[in-house]
Structure formats: structure tokens, C-alpha cells
């Protein structure tokens, strides 16, 4: 397996973190210090319907907690009767997500016109102009779906908007390269 492919699974999984963090569950992929920070939500309007369990944040929605930042035109959260999160949908032109999930790496950024999270099945779907980036690696397509239970990423494109992956070159250790040239290990 290409070494950067494993990173992409972690990148996509970190997108799931935004939904669980947004819903109060905390993120297993976030920096530990992120969980200790206050959650700050700002929007032009907010509405919660107790009968339906639907919370809607509209108008320049911004959510911050530590290194986590989500920006969208609208975020809709659906809960069951006990308050457990069922789904989260962020929509924007595009909706944005960023978070530092590893202190040794840069920010993970994701964007799409729509970001859906199905909490029961632990599936996140980035739809329309979907993009993920971290440390020079990028992944884009019309639809990117990550199933965290199966640890499986699926990306779909079409003839005019194909799936694209960019992996930066491996950083070489000059000491090991010179030993290999000399026939030493």
C-alpha cells in the first residue's frame, strides 16, 4: 500500500470528527487539547424543534473548538427522542472543515457543497466538488464517501470531473540513501 493512502483514510476519518464533535461526543482524531476548548457557534439564526428533533443553524454558520473550524451556509442536525444524533448536514458554497488531527502534521481541510454524516452507520459523504487536503496530499471528486466502520473510502467522478489524487514525493533520508549506494545497511 502506498504510504500516503493510509494518511488519506485518517484524513477522511477526521471529517467524521467534525460531526461527533459538533454533537458533543468529542473527536478521537482531534488533538487532545481541542476537546478541552470551548465550542463556539455563531450563525445568523438558530432553531430547534423538540417534536422533530431537528436543529437548524443558518446564515454564515461558524463552529470552532481548538483547531477545529467548520463554516457553512447552513447546518442541520437531526436527533432521536433521546437526543442522540442521527444525521448532520452542512451545506455551503462550499461548506468548509479544517482541523489539526496530528501535532506532527498540518491542518486537514475538506470542502464540498454538501457534507453529510450518518451517525448510526458512521458514514460521511462529501458531495459536489469534494476536496480533501493535508501536507501537500489532496483527494478530489464529485462524491467522496468514507465508511469508518469498514475503514473504506469511495470516490466517484464522471467523464468531465474525474477523481484526482495527488501524493507528494517521499522525503528521503540522505544517510540511508548514501549507505544504500555503498551497499551498506
Structural domain spans, the chain: 3-39+85-182
Q: What is the pLDDT of residues 169-184, one digit of tens each?
A: 887 776 655 555 555 5
Residue 61 has pLDDT above 60, yes or no: yes
**Average pLDDT of the chain to the nearest whole number:** 78
pLDDT score, position 176? 59
Give the pLDDT mean for 132-150: 84
As a whole number of angstroms, the distance between CA 58 and CA 2 comes to 41
pTM: 0.72
Residue 20 banded pLDDT, cuts 50, 70, 90: very low
Residue 38 has pLDDT above 50, yes or no: yes
Residue-wise over 43-62: b if at least 16 C-beta within 10 A, else e?
beeeeeeeeebebbbbeebe
pLDDT score, position 136? 86
Q: What is the pLDDT of residues 4-15, one digit of tens each?
A: 443 333 333 333
As a whole number of angstroms, the distance between CA 106 and CA 7 comes to 12
The CATH architecture to which 3-39+85-182 belongs is Sandwich (2.60)
Give the pLDDT mean for 28-48: 79
The grid coordinates of residue 66 equal 481548538
Give the pLDDT mean for 63-88: 88
Residue 19 has pLDDT above 60, yes or no: no
As a whole number of angstroms, the distance between CA 145 and CA 150 comes to 12
pLDDT score, position 177? 57
Q: What percent of the chain has pLDDT over 70?
A: 76
Amino acid at each position: 500500500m502506498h504510504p500516503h493512502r493510509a494518511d488519506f483514510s485518517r484524513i477522511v476519518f477526521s471529517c467524521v470528527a467534525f460531526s461527533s464533535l459538533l454533537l458533543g461526543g468529542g473527536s478521537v482524531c482531534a488533538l487532545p487539547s481541542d476537546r478541552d476548548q470551548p465550542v463556539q457557534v455563531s450563525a445568523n439564526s438558530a432553531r430547534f424543534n423538540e417534536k422533530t428533533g431537528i436543529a437548524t443553524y443558518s446564515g454564515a454558520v461558524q463552529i470552532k473548538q481548538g483547531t477545529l473550524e467548520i463554516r457553512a451556509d447552513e447546518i442541520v442536525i437531526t436527533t432521536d427522542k433521546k437526543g442522540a444524533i442521527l444525521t448532520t448536514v452542512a451545506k455551503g458554497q462550499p461548506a468548509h472543515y479544517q482541523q489539526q488531527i496530528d501535532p506532527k502534521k498540518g491542518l486537514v481541510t475538506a470542502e464540498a457543497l454538501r457534507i453529510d454524516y450518518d451517525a448510526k452507520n458512521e458514514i460521511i459523504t462529501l458531495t459536489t466538488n469534494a476536496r480533501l487536503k493535508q501536507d501537500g496530499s489532496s483527494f478530489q471528486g464529485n462524491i467522496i464517501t468514507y465508511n469508518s466502520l469498514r475503514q473504506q473510502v469511495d470516490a466517484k467522478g464522471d467523464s468531465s470531473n474525474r477523481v484526482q489524487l495527488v501524493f507528494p514525493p517521499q522525503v528521503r533520508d540522505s544517510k540511508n540513501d548514501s549507505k544504500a549506494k555503498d551497499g551498506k545497511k
